[in-house]
Structure 1
Amino acid sequence: MDRQITNAALRAIRRILRATDQGGRKLAAATGLTPSQILVLQQIERSGETTPSAVASALQFGQATVTNIVDKLEEAGLATRRRSDRDRRQILLKATSEGCAILESAPDLLQERFRDRFEALPAWEQAMILAALERLGQLLDAADIDAAPLIDAGIIDRSLR
Protein backbone atom coordinates (compact mmCIF):
# COMPACT_ATOMS: atom_id res chain seq x y z
CA MET A 1 0.00 0.00 0.00
CA ASP A 2 2.80 2.46 0.85
CA ARG A 3 4.37 1.99 -2.62
CA GLN A 4 1.03 2.80 -4.28
CA ILE A 5 0.71 6.01 -2.29
CA THR A 6 4.32 6.93 -3.06
CA ASN A 7 3.75 6.32 -6.77
CA ALA A 8 0.54 8.38 -6.68
CA ALA A 9 2.47 11.24 -5.04
CA LEU A 10 5.23 10.98 -7.67
CA ARG A 11 2.63 11.05 -10.46
CA ALA A 12 1.07 14.18 -8.92
CA ILE A 13 4.48 15.88 -8.79
CA ARG A 14 5.15 14.86 -12.38
CA ARG A 15 1.80 16.30 -13.50
CA ILE A 16 2.66 19.62 -11.87
CA LEU A 17 6.08 19.66 -13.53
CA ARG A 18 4.55 18.83 -16.91
CA ALA A 19 1.85 21.50 -16.52
CA THR A 20 4.59 24.02 -15.74
CA ASP A 21 6.59 22.98 -18.79
CA GLN A 22 3.55 23.00 -21.07
CA GLY A 23 2.45 26.41 -19.79
CA GLY A 24 5.92 27.84 -20.45
CA ARG A 25 6.05 26.32 -23.94
CA LYS A 26 2.59 27.66 -24.80
CA LEU A 27 3.59 31.12 -23.59
CA ALA A 28 6.90 30.98 -25.50
CA ALA A 29 5.16 29.89 -28.69
CA ALA A 30 2.62 32.70 -28.47
CA THR A 31 4.92 35.51 -27.32
CA GLY A 32 8.57 34.45 -27.45
CA LEU A 33 8.81 35.35 -23.75
CA THR A 34 9.27 33.48 -20.49
CA PRO A 35 6.72 33.66 -17.65
CA SER A 36 9.00 36.00 -15.67
CA GLN A 37 9.40 38.33 -18.65
CA ILE A 38 5.62 38.45 -19.12
CA LEU A 39 5.12 39.20 -15.42
CA VAL A 40 7.63 42.06 -15.49
CA LEU A 41 6.10 43.47 -18.68
CA GLN A 42 2.59 43.19 -17.17
CA GLN A 43 3.71 45.03 -14.05
CA ILE A 44 5.30 47.79 -16.11
CA GLU A 45 2.20 48.10 -18.30
CA ARG A 46 -0.16 48.11 -15.29
CA SER A 47 1.80 50.94 -13.70
CA GLY A 48 1.96 53.08 -16.83
CA GLU A 49 5.43 54.25 -15.93
CA THR A 50 7.36 52.79 -13.02
CA THR A 51 10.79 52.16 -11.55
CA PRO A 52 12.69 48.89 -11.57
CA SER A 53 12.62 48.81 -7.76
CA ALA A 54 8.81 49.17 -7.76
CA VAL A 55 8.56 46.25 -10.20
CA ALA A 56 10.92 44.15 -8.07
CA SER A 57 8.94 44.93 -4.93
CA ALA A 58 5.54 44.22 -6.53
CA LEU A 59 6.68 40.87 -7.96
CA GLN A 60 8.98 39.91 -5.08
CA PHE A 61 11.86 39.52 -7.54
CA GLY A 62 15.41 40.61 -6.87
CA GLN A 63 16.50 44.00 -8.21
CA ALA A 64 19.26 42.40 -10.32
CA THR A 65 16.76 39.92 -11.78
CA VAL A 66 14.40 42.72 -12.81
CA THR A 67 17.30 44.64 -14.35
CA ASN A 68 18.30 41.57 -16.42
CA ILE A 69 14.72 40.97 -17.53
CA VAL A 70 14.20 44.63 -18.44
CA ASP A 71 17.44 44.50 -20.47
CA LYS A 72 15.91 41.67 -22.52
CA LEU A 73 12.55 43.43 -22.85
CA GLU A 74 14.23 46.64 -23.96
CA GLU A 75 16.41 44.74 -26.44
CA ALA A 76 13.26 43.18 -27.92
CA GLY A 77 11.57 46.59 -28.19
CA LEU A 78 8.88 45.72 -25.64
CA ALA A 79 9.81 48.23 -22.94
CA THR A 80 11.76 51.46 -22.68
CA ARG A 81 13.91 53.09 -20.02
CA ARG A 82 14.32 56.80 -19.51
CA ARG A 83 15.65 59.07 -16.81
CA SER A 84 13.07 60.91 -14.74
CA ASP A 85 12.76 64.62 -15.44
CA ARG A 86 12.34 65.32 -11.72
CA ASP A 87 15.17 63.13 -10.44
CA ARG A 88 17.85 62.28 -13.00
CA ARG A 89 19.06 59.41 -10.82
CA GLN A 90 15.74 57.64 -11.19
CA ILE A 91 15.07 55.32 -14.16
CA LEU A 92 11.49 55.00 -15.42
CA LEU A 93 10.18 51.99 -17.33
CA LYS A 94 7.33 52.00 -19.81
CA ALA A 95 5.82 49.30 -22.02
CA THR A 96 5.98 50.03 -25.74
CA SER A 97 3.00 49.57 -28.04
CA GLU A 98 4.61 46.31 -29.21
CA GLY A 99 4.92 45.23 -25.57
CA CYS A 100 1.25 45.99 -24.95
CA ALA A 101 0.30 44.03 -28.08
CA ILE A 102 2.30 41.01 -26.83
CA LEU A 103 0.43 41.17 -23.53
CA GLU A 104 -2.90 41.27 -25.38
CA SER A 105 -2.01 38.11 -27.32
CA ALA A 106 -0.45 36.22 -24.38
CA PRO A 107 -2.29 33.18 -23.06
CA ASP A 108 -3.21 33.06 -19.38
CA LEU A 109 -0.24 32.32 -17.17
CA LEU A 110 -0.44 29.10 -15.20
CA GLN A 111 0.29 31.00 -12.03
CA GLU A 112 -2.61 33.40 -12.61
CA ARG A 113 -4.98 30.44 -12.83
CA PHE A 114 -3.40 28.96 -9.71
CA ARG A 115 -3.62 32.28 -7.81
CA ASP A 116 -7.27 32.82 -8.70
CA ARG A 117 -8.30 29.28 -7.80
CA PHE A 118 -6.09 29.08 -4.69
CA GLU A 119 -7.38 32.39 -3.31
CA ALA A 120 -10.96 31.16 -3.82
CA LEU A 121 -10.32 28.23 -1.46
CA PRO A 122 -11.25 28.48 2.21
CA ALA A 123 -8.40 29.64 4.49
CA TRP A 124 -8.05 26.20 6.12
CA GLU A 125 -7.55 24.55 2.73
CA GLN A 126 -5.02 27.17 1.63
CA ALA A 127 -3.08 26.55 4.86
CA MET A 128 -3.22 22.78 4.36
CA ILE A 129 -1.94 23.02 0.76
CA LEU A 130 0.80 25.46 1.75
CA ALA A 131 1.94 23.17 4.58
CA ALA A 132 1.99 20.17 2.22
CA LEU A 133 3.97 22.10 -0.42
CA GLU A 134 6.49 23.34 2.15
CA ARG A 135 6.87 19.80 3.49
CA LEU A 136 7.36 18.52 -0.07
CA GLY A 137 10.10 21.11 -0.53
CA GLN A 138 11.79 19.73 2.59
CA LEU A 139 11.50 16.13 1.35
CA LEU A 140 13.20 17.18 -1.91
CA ASP A 141 15.93 19.16 -0.09
CA ALA A 142 14.57 22.29 -1.73
CA ALA A 143 13.48 24.22 1.38
CA ASP A 144 16.51 26.53 1.30
CA ILE A 145 16.49 27.21 -2.45
CA ASP A 146 15.77 30.88 -3.16
CA ALA A 147 12.68 31.12 -5.34
CA ALA A 148 10.48 33.95 -6.53
CA PRO A 149 6.69 33.48 -6.37
CA LEU A 150 6.59 32.24 -9.95
CA ILE A 151 5.49 28.96 -11.52
CA ASP A 152 8.40 28.36 -13.88
CA ALA A 153 11.13 25.76 -13.68
CA GLY A 154 13.79 27.63 -15.64
CA ILE A 155 16.24 30.31 -14.61
CA ILE A 156 14.11 33.36 -13.90
CA ASP A 157 15.99 35.82 -16.10
CA ARG A 158 16.78 33.52 -19.02
CA SER A 159 16.10 34.55 -22.59
CA LEU A 160 14.03 32.74 -25.22
CA ARG A 161 14.32 35.19 -28.10
Structure 2
Amino acid sequence: MYDEHETKSIEKSLRYIASHVRVNGREILKHHDISPLQFVALQWVGDKDGITIGELANRLYLAHSTTTDIVDKLESGNYVRRDRSDKDKRLVLVSMEDKGKEVIQQVIDKRIDYIAKITKNLGEDERKILPAALEHVLEESERLTYE
Protein backbone atom coordinates (compact mmCIF):
# COMPACT_ATOMS: atom_id res chain seq x y z
CA MET A 1 0.00 0.00 0.00
CA TYR A 2 1.28 3.46 -0.87
CA ASP A 3 1.37 6.27 1.65
CA GLU A 4 -0.66 9.45 0.99
CA HIS A 5 2.25 11.32 -0.60
CA GLU A 6 2.98 8.46 -3.01
CA THR A 7 -0.71 8.08 -3.90
CA LYS A 8 -0.97 11.81 -4.63
CA SER A 9 2.12 11.58 -6.82
CA ILE A 10 0.66 8.64 -8.77
CA GLU A 11 -2.66 10.48 -9.25
CA LYS A 12 -0.91 13.60 -10.52
CA SER A 13 1.35 11.62 -12.87
CA LEU A 14 -1.54 9.63 -14.34
CA ARG A 15 -3.63 12.78 -14.79
CA TYR A 16 -0.82 14.71 -16.48
CA ILE A 17 0.23 11.80 -18.71
CA ALA A 18 -3.38 11.21 -19.81
CA SER A 19 -3.76 14.91 -20.58
CA HIS A 20 -0.52 15.07 -22.58
CA VAL A 21 -1.41 11.95 -24.59
CA ARG A 22 -4.93 13.28 -25.25
CA VAL A 23 -3.74 16.75 -26.32
CA ASN A 24 -0.99 15.35 -28.54
CA GLY A 25 -3.37 12.97 -30.31
CA ARG A 26 -5.96 15.66 -30.82
CA GLU A 27 -3.54 17.69 -32.93
CA ILE A 28 -4.95 15.59 -35.79
CA LEU A 29 -8.36 17.19 -35.27
CA LYS A 30 -7.08 20.52 -36.60
CA HIS A 31 -6.93 18.91 -40.03
CA HIS A 32 -10.54 17.73 -39.84
CA ASP A 33 -12.39 20.71 -38.33
CA ILE A 34 -13.61 18.59 -35.39
CA SER A 35 -13.76 20.01 -31.88
CA PRO A 36 -12.55 17.99 -28.90
CA LEU A 37 -16.16 17.50 -27.76
CA GLN A 38 -17.21 16.32 -31.22
CA PHE A 39 -14.28 13.88 -31.13
CA VAL A 40 -15.43 12.49 -27.77
CA ALA A 41 -18.89 11.97 -29.30
CA LEU A 42 -17.28 10.29 -32.31
CA GLN A 43 -15.40 7.94 -29.99
CA TRP A 44 -18.65 6.96 -28.23
CA VAL A 45 -20.26 6.24 -31.59
CA GLY A 46 -17.25 4.12 -32.47
CA ASP A 47 -17.51 2.23 -29.19
CA LYS A 48 -21.22 1.55 -29.62
CA ASP A 49 -22.15 1.66 -33.28
CA GLY A 50 -25.87 2.25 -33.50
CA ILE A 51 -26.08 4.43 -30.39
CA THR A 52 -29.16 6.60 -29.92
CA ILE A 53 -28.94 10.37 -29.44
CA GLY A 54 -30.31 9.86 -25.91
CA GLU A 55 -27.62 7.34 -25.01
CA LEU A 56 -24.97 9.59 -26.49
CA ALA A 57 -26.32 12.60 -24.57
CA ASN A 58 -26.13 10.59 -21.33
CA ARG A 59 -22.55 9.51 -22.00
CA LEU A 60 -21.51 13.08 -22.83
CA TYR A 61 -23.48 14.54 -19.90
CA LEU A 62 -25.13 16.98 -22.29
CA ALA A 63 -28.66 18.01 -23.17
CA HIS A 64 -30.37 16.09 -25.95
CA SER A 65 -30.52 19.24 -28.09
CA THR A 66 -26.80 19.95 -27.68
CA THR A 67 -25.97 16.36 -28.59
CA THR A 68 -28.19 16.61 -31.66
CA ASP A 69 -26.20 19.68 -32.75
CA ILE A 70 -22.95 17.73 -32.33
CA VAL A 71 -24.28 14.80 -34.36
CA ASP A 72 -25.55 17.23 -37.03
CA LYS A 73 -22.04 18.64 -37.42
CA LEU A 74 -20.45 15.18 -37.53
CA GLU A 75 -23.04 13.99 -40.03
CA SER A 76 -22.52 17.00 -42.29
CA GLY A 77 -18.80 16.17 -42.33
CA ASN A 78 -19.57 12.54 -43.25
CA TYR A 79 -18.07 11.20 -40.02
CA VAL A 80 -21.34 9.56 -38.87
CA ARG A 81 -24.77 8.76 -40.27
CA ARG A 82 -28.25 8.42 -38.85
CA ASP A 83 -30.42 5.39 -39.55
CA ARG A 84 -33.85 4.30 -38.35
CA SER A 85 -33.82 1.23 -36.14
CA ASP A 86 -35.10 -1.93 -37.84
CA LYS A 87 -36.67 -3.03 -34.55
CA ASP A 88 -38.29 0.27 -33.58
CA LYS A 89 -38.79 2.82 -36.36
CA ARG A 90 -39.16 5.60 -33.75
CA LEU A 91 -35.48 5.22 -32.80
CA VAL A 92 -32.76 6.99 -34.73
CA LEU A 93 -29.37 5.31 -34.43
CA VAL A 94 -26.03 7.00 -35.00
CA SER A 95 -23.39 4.90 -36.76
CA MET A 96 -19.81 5.46 -37.80
CA GLU A 97 -18.84 6.21 -41.39
CA ASP A 98 -15.43 5.24 -42.80
CA LYS A 99 -14.23 8.84 -42.52
CA GLY A 100 -14.98 8.78 -38.77
CA LYS A 101 -13.09 5.51 -38.35
CA GLU A 102 -10.13 7.01 -40.20
CA VAL A 103 -10.00 10.06 -37.91
CA ILE A 104 -10.12 7.91 -34.80
CA GLN A 105 -7.34 5.69 -36.18
CA GLN A 106 -5.20 8.73 -37.02
CA VAL A 107 -5.59 10.05 -33.47
CA ILE A 108 -4.75 6.64 -31.98
CA ASP A 109 -1.70 6.34 -34.24
CA LYS A 110 -0.52 9.79 -33.12
CA ARG A 111 -1.05 8.83 -29.47
CA ILE A 112 0.90 5.58 -29.95
CA ASP A 113 3.76 7.51 -31.57
CA TYR A 114 3.77 9.96 -28.65
CA ILE A 115 3.80 7.15 -26.08
CA ALA A 116 6.71 5.53 -27.92
CA LYS A 117 8.61 8.83 -27.70
CA ILE A 118 7.96 9.42 -24.00
CA THR A 119 8.89 5.86 -23.04
CA LYS A 120 11.94 5.40 -25.26
CA ASN A 121 14.40 6.33 -22.49
CA LEU A 122 13.03 3.86 -19.94
CA GLY A 123 15.43 1.24 -18.70
CA GLU A 124 14.96 -2.38 -19.72
CA ASP A 125 13.36 -3.32 -16.39
CA GLU A 126 10.99 -0.34 -16.56
CA ARG A 127 10.00 -1.24 -20.15
CA LYS A 128 9.19 -4.79 -19.07
CA ILE A 129 7.12 -3.89 -16.02
CA LEU A 130 5.19 -0.85 -17.29
CA PRO A 131 2.67 -2.59 -19.62
CA ALA A 132 1.82 -5.29 -17.06
CA ALA A 133 1.56 -2.82 -14.18
CA LEU A 134 -0.70 -0.49 -16.17
CA GLU A 135 -2.88 -3.41 -17.31
CA HIS A 136 -3.28 -4.55 -13.71
CA VAL A 137 -4.19 -1.02 -12.55
CA LEU A 138 -6.72 -0.77 -15.40
CA GLU A 139 -8.32 -4.10 -14.46
CA GLU A 140 -8.61 -3.01 -10.83
CA SER A 141 -10.11 0.34 -11.82
CA GLU A 142 -12.72 -1.42 -13.96
CA ARG A 143 -13.46 -3.95 -11.24
CA LEU A 144 -14.03 -1.22 -8.64
CA THR A 145 -16.00 0.95 -11.07
CA TYR A 146 -18.40 -1.78 -12.14
CA GLU A 147 -18.85 -3.62 -8.79
| Matched-pair contact (CA < 8 Å) for 2:28–2:106 | no
**Matching of residue 28 in structure 1 with residue 44 in structure 2:** no
Q: Which residue of 1 aligns with 2:78?
A: 77
Mark the runs of 5 or more structure 2 residues left unpaired by the alignment: 1-18, 112-136, 139-147
Q: Which residue of 1 aligns with 2:39?
A: 38
TM norm structure 2: 0.54
The 4+ residue runs of structure 1 with deviation greater than 3 A are none
TM norm structure 1: 0.50
**Matching of residue 52 in structure 1 with residue 49 in structure 2:** no
Q: Deviations over 1:65-102 (max 9, x none)?
A: 11001001111111000111111111001010111001
In structure 1, how many angstroms separate the alpha carbons of the residues matched to 2:95 and 2:87? 16
In structure 2, how many angstroms separate the alpha carbons of the residues matched to 1:46 and 1:31? 20
Higher helix share: 2
Mark the runs of 5 or more structure 1 residues left unpaired by the alignment: 1-18, 109-118, 121-161
In structure 2, how many angstroms separate the alpha carbons of the residues matched to 1:102 and 1:86? 30
The AA in structure 2 aligned to 1:56 is A
In structure 1, how many angstroms separate the alpha carbons of the residues matched to 2:103 and 2:96? 10
Q: Which has the higher contact order (CA 8 A, sep 6+)?
A: 1
**Post-superposition offset of 1:59:** 1.6
Q: Percent identity?
A: 27
In structure 2, how many angstroms separate the alpha carbons of the residues matched to 1:74 and 1:59? 17
**Matching of residue 64 in structure 1 with residue 65 in structure 2:** yes
Q: How many residues are aligned here? A: 91
